[in-house]
Structure 1
Amino acid sequence: MMKRRVVVTGIGAINAIGHNVEETWKSIKDGVCGIGEITNYDNSLTKVKIAGEVKDFNVADYLDKKAARKMDRFTQFGVIAAREAFKDSGLEIDKINADRFGVAVSSGIGGIGTIEKDHSKALQKGYDRVSPFFVPMAITNLAAGNIAIDLGAKGMCTCPVTACAGGTNAIGDAFRNIRDGYQDIMVAGGAEASITPLGVGGFTSMKALCDNNDPARASIPFDADRSGFVMGEGAGILVLEELEHAKARGAHIYCEMVGYGASCDAYHITAPLSDGSGGAKAMVNALEDAGLKPEDVTYINAHGTSTPLNDKGETLAIKAALGEAAKNVAVSSTKGNTGHCLGAAGGIEGVICVKAVEEGYIPATINYQNPDPECDLDIVPNVGREQEVNVAMSNSLGFGGHNATIVFKKYGE
């Protein structure tokens, strides 16, 4: 069967540096760091005091109050970004076949804020007094479910839960479902809201978070002084569409999605393979899927979490996957801007890659000061570049050994 072509026709985002795509992209180009003091809860409860929170967020500005009360914060973010992406695409639900319109939206942790709140209530008043909306607010698939309800998408609706690779896996799964003829349109990405005492405390106790509370020296991917990641939150959503379907309605096409690769380290519950071989396989698989050579890649949006193991291992992975071409590819991590948004990271970074291809701009790795000889790629330090981006790759790696890579290409007839 001939593989169908897939294009990006809509994008939406909310995160620490913007409430929408326009704000987010401007902040990327301006080198804005969205990390600051935690206000979501009393930060005296945790050693880590900083995170990449969505700032000045009033859900009533976006969603009906009654509906919002039945959604955890991660679901609210997902619905907000999905609405933006759907509106941006110009699609109208009554003019498409809703049975061939699907949703694939990940979350790594789901409604942890709801779980904490209702558990506290249960201890005080009894377990039978928890909210009747506790379960549908807490479970991880309900961002995807609520988005499908909100937009009227009656095709497949799924939520891959692969930790920090989830958003990228969701976009990749959506791509394949359109390319292979199962769906015509997919809303895909990730949503997360785990800046809570339990979320931050859990990652702190396993030594994954940076406990340097200086926002300018905390999320510092590829820097020799990196010591852990900084938690972020938000959502990033793409509308993927079969090319002929998009052309028939005169849609604006941002770029083409051409490849997806996935692999598993099968090694450790949290640590990546030190030689980066698992991540390399995902990149190789994605390039083969796209029919591209390593030297075709202009830009890689790295997973780049700012943990010692990840950034060193991902550097080795890129070298293994691209060979000699690794010397000439621009590699940056935008987690210096947004923090690490876990299951939403791949969605937000997917949006950033789409904009990079569309506008010919390579984002910087901000707050970079001290080079690490073991992370010796062209990491675009501190200042972004106006440069044509023909092919952009986005990497995401997750606890459990999950590796995922997606590939976008400048659209041409």
Structure 2
Amino acid sequence: MKRVVITGLGAITPIGNNVKDYWNNLLNGVSGANLITRFDTSNFKTKFACEVKNYDPLNYFDSKEARKLDRFSQYGIISVNEAIIDANLDFTKLNTNRIGVIFSSGIGGFETYENEVINFAQNNFQPRFNPFFITKIISNGLAGQISINYGLKGVNYCPVTACASSTQSIIQAFNYIRLGKADIIISGGSEAPITQASIGGFNSMKAMSTNNENFKTASRPFDKTRDGFVVGEGAGALIVESLESAIKRNAKIYAEIVGGGENSDAYHITGTHPEGIGAFLAMENGILEAKIKPKDIDYINAHATSTGLGDLSEIKAIEKLFNSNLSKVQISASKSMTGHLLGGTGAIEAISTCLSVQTNLIPPTINTNKVDENIPKELNLSISEKTLKEINYALSNSFGFGGHCSALILKKHTD
């Protein structure tokens, strides 16, 4: 089996339109929540979200290209461009037959779909659809576009597992490379779900916070007063590469990928198992694959969406797995700042986990003032302030509707 490393990072998020700004704002506990600017929220229960700020597609694309791409694809391409530059990849000097793209989106071009259907209805149901309608909405269109942009002819697909999607894209990139089927894979995920139908749909499920009076602090993982997740948008890209290829290119290495667990709750289409069965199995299998023990994990970037059942089921899984070593592991929840990017969330959290491994810095969990009494007191939650801690192994969790559970294990690269 080949060793696999991360050599490039790219991101556009609610708290930073590049990796440097995203990471600095994470460490400084900046909230990305704001009142929704995309549409009139007067009739909606939730009036806020974590939008990407100061975004103009014409700063990144010409007008013709921008019209062909849904917002989720635009975000994804922007993050990939940054990651490629960061990794110093020159595709003219590489075998592009062995470079692939595994890039996710949970719901794809939701904004385009909504706009086209509204226009269809407003035009007396005359079928005058945009010729790019289908290519803009399909979730796999982004992965395809990335491969086309750079002429990459290796593996190319889009895992769609709701909010576990982009973590699974990274795990699948890891698997392809360690099995020798590729040298480099661009992985990650993107989402642009801040639309009328999305907000209305999540409201009808009672999954999303309606704390409009305190929207800046509404995403409060582990807090006794949490009332649902805050939706976010953006993208994250990671260049996943064989160690052999990275050494040959003299590439900088952020961290090594050593394990990935993928399991199912097999319980409910939207709710996590109360005891966190799938989460437990995913973490356990990732740790086993890494050939380490739970006590070796120094840091967990929790899925922690700020929902009542979800936060507790993840904590129960962690408590069961880490048992007597529970007090040794540090836990934080970056969704307190970024909100929940659905299919893109695993990618931006893998980026922050990667940077934590490299720098030994753990971003805080903000907005958590009254820790739920059902959470064990010996649990080390990074609350309010960043934490300095030696990190040799870290774990990043992502769980999605349908019971999909994934856990990515990263190791500090030392040789």
Deviation, 1:347, is: 0.4
Partner of residue 108 from structure 2, selected from 102, 110, 135: 110
Q: Which residue of 2 aligns with 1:84?
A: 82
Deviation, 1:325, is: 1.7
Measure the CA separation in 1 of the matches of 2:173 and 2:280: 22
Q: Which residue of 1 aligns with 2:358?
A: 358
| Residue type of the alignment partner of 2:184 | I
Measure the CA separation in 2 of the matches of 1:45 and 1:98: 50
Q: Which moved more, 1:82-91 or 1:386-395?
A: 386-395
Partner of residue 63 from structure 1, selected from 53, 57, 61: 61
Once the two structures are superposed, the pairs formed by residues 172-183 of structure 1 within 5 Å of their partners are 172-183=171-182
CA RMSD of aligned residues (A): 1.0
Does the aligned pair in 2 maintain the 1:277–1:320 contact within 8 Å?
no
How many pairs are equivalent? 411
The C-alpha deviation readout for 1:226-285, integer Å capped at 9, x for no partner, is 110000000011000000110011001111111100100111110111011110000000
Q: Which moved more, 1:322-331 or 1:75-84?
A: 322-331
The C-alpha deviation readout for 1:49-78, integer Å capped at 9, x for no partner, is 110000110111112221111010000000
Does the aligned pair in 2 maintain the 1:101–1:155 contact within 8 Å?
yes
Measure the CA separation in 2 of the matches of 1:70 and 1:45: 31
Measure the CA separation in 1 of the matches of 2:216 and 2:375: 20
- Runs of 5+ in structure 1 lacking a partner? none
SS in 2 for 1:44: coil
Once the two structures are superposed, the pairs formed by residues 225-240 of structure 1 within 5 Å of their partners are 225-240=225-240
Q: TM-score, normalised by structure 2?
A: 0.97
SS in 2 for 1:187: strand
Measure the CA separation in 1 of the matches of 2:273 and 2:368: 25
Q: Which residue of 2 aligns with 1:347?
A: 347
| Residue type of the alignment partner of 1:184 | D
State yes or no: 1:184 paired with 2:186: no
Measure the CA separation in 2 of the matches of 1:65 and 1:87: 23
Partner of residue 96 from structure 1, selected from 94, 97, 101: 94
Q: Which residue of 1 aligns with 2:402?
A: 400
Question: Among the aligned pairs, what percent are the same residue?
Answer: 45
| Residue type of the alignment partner of 1:384 | K
Q: Which residue of 1 aligns with 2:278?
A: 278
Measure the CA separation in 1 of the matches of 2:119 and 2:291: 54
| Residue type of the alignment partner of 1:141 | N
The C-alpha deviation readout for 1:156-184, integer Å capped at 9, x for no partner, is 11111000000101110111000111111
Once the two structures are superposed, the pairs formed by residues 284-303 of structure 1 within 5 Å of their partners are 284-303=284-303
Measure the CA separation in 1 of the matches of 2:325 and 2:61: 46
Partner of residue 5 from structure 1, selected from 3, 6, 12: 3
Q: Which residue of 1 aligns with 2:413?
A: 411
Change (3 A) 1:127 1:387: farther
Q: Which residue of 1 aligns with 2:21?
A: 23
Does the aligned pair in 2 maintain the 1:82–1:237 contact within 8 Å?
yes
Does the aligned pair in 2 maintain the 1:45–1:197 contact within 8 Å?
no
Does the aligned pair in 2 maintain the 1:311–1:375 contact within 8 Å?
no
Once the two structures are superposed, the pairs formed by residues 9-408 of structure 1 within 5 Å of their partners are 9-125=7-123, 126-213=125-212, 214-376=214-376, 377-408=379-410
Measure the CA separation in 1 of the matches of 2:189 and 2:375: 28
Measure the CA separation in 2 of the matches of 1:371 and 1:194: 29
SS in 2 for 1:4: coil
- Runs of 5+ in structure 2 lacking a partner? none
Measure the CA separation in 1 of the matches of 2:32 and 2:364: 14
| Residue type of the alignment partner of 2:110 | I
| Residue type of the alignment partner of 1:111 | G
| Residue type of the alignment partner of 1:401 | G
SS in 2 for 1:129: coil
Deviation, 1:217, is: 3.1
Measure the CA separation in 1 of the matches of 2:189 and 2:209: 23
Does the aligned pair in 1 maintain the 2:260–2:409 contact within 8 Å?
yes
SS in 1 for 2:112: helix
Runs (4+) off by over 2 Å = 124-128
SS in 2 for 1:375: coil
SS in 2 for 1:235: strand
Measure the CA separation in 1 of the matches of 2:405 and 2:110: 24
